[in-house]
Amino acid sequence: MADAVQKVAIVTGAAQGIGRGIAAQLASDGYAILIADIRLEAAEKAAAELRSAGSQAAAGQVDVSDADACSAMAARAVEQFGRLDVLVNSAGISKPGPSLEVSPADWQRMIGIQLNGPFFCSQAAGRQMVAQGWGGVIVNITSINAEAAFPQRAAYACAKAGVTMLTKTLAIEWAQYKIRVNAVGPAHTDTEMTARLVAQGLYDLETVQRRIPLGRLAQVQDVANAVSFLVSDKADFITGHALYVDGGYLAYGYW
């Protein structure tokens, strides 16, 4: 990195999938990384792989639906690396199901992880960034479901739409502290989670790929590249924006 002082990033949900790809990209960009995930053993393995590649990395366990755990996560990053410059809210779950059958517990769990989590983590990171005095960057991983409704995904889509508005609200509120807040919304992405949904018969892969104008699923690296740009100085005047990495999905209005 160009800076003399190494910057530090937290990536939640970084033990696998999109979060892990983002963590790897930011490590390649020169950041020290805190791999934050509810699965501590998997987070430690991911951090060890980054260290073996020559990066600074540590692991921390966090349940993003728990505000106190999110505060502890931010403190862990500062204790380990001395500062906090970037937060990427990537932790998420997927549990499609008929809206008539969604239980209150499943609804609350989805909202707790997908919407409350980004707020609690951003609040914890934001407090640290304000205290440091030089600002920072937050990137929320949303989804095309923030803009496009899919059947059997009521809780997921509502949570992601909420994160988009959270992104805009924090961006304008925290601009005075030089904290930029943006979102990246992938289309269907080639991850372990997607593979499980295909195996369960909840995704028709060929239909999905036909619906995307560029003719393929998003790759984890596509999403990581977008995050890498948004946290960089090249995006220094971009805040409150949702960047959709969707192969043209949302622009395509003809079936």
Give me the percent of the chain exceeding a pLDDT of 90: 87
Beta-carbon-side half-sphere exposure of residue 105 (alpha carbons within 13 Å) = 0
Residue 1 in domain = no
138: in domain:
yes
Does a structural domain hold residue 3?
no
pLDDT digits (tens, 9 = 90+) for 168-203: 999 999 999 999 999 999 999 988 878 887 888 777
pLDDT tens digits, 205-220: 888 888 999 999 999 9
Query: Does residue 2 fall inside a structural domain?
Result: no
Domain holding 164, by residue range, is 8-245
CATH code for position 125 = 3.40.50.720
Tens digits of residue pLDDT in 86-131: 999 999 998 889 999 999 999 999 999 999 999 999 999 999 999 9
pLDDT of residue 184: 98
Model pLDDT, residue 253: 82
How many separate domains does the chain show? Answer: 1
Q: What is the pLDDT of residue 167?
A: 98
Catalytic residues: 156
Q: What angle do CA 80, 85, 91 make, to 5 degrees?
A: 80
DSSP-derived 3-state class of residue 254: coil
CA 235 to chain centre: 17
Mean predicted lDDT score pLDDT of the chain:
94
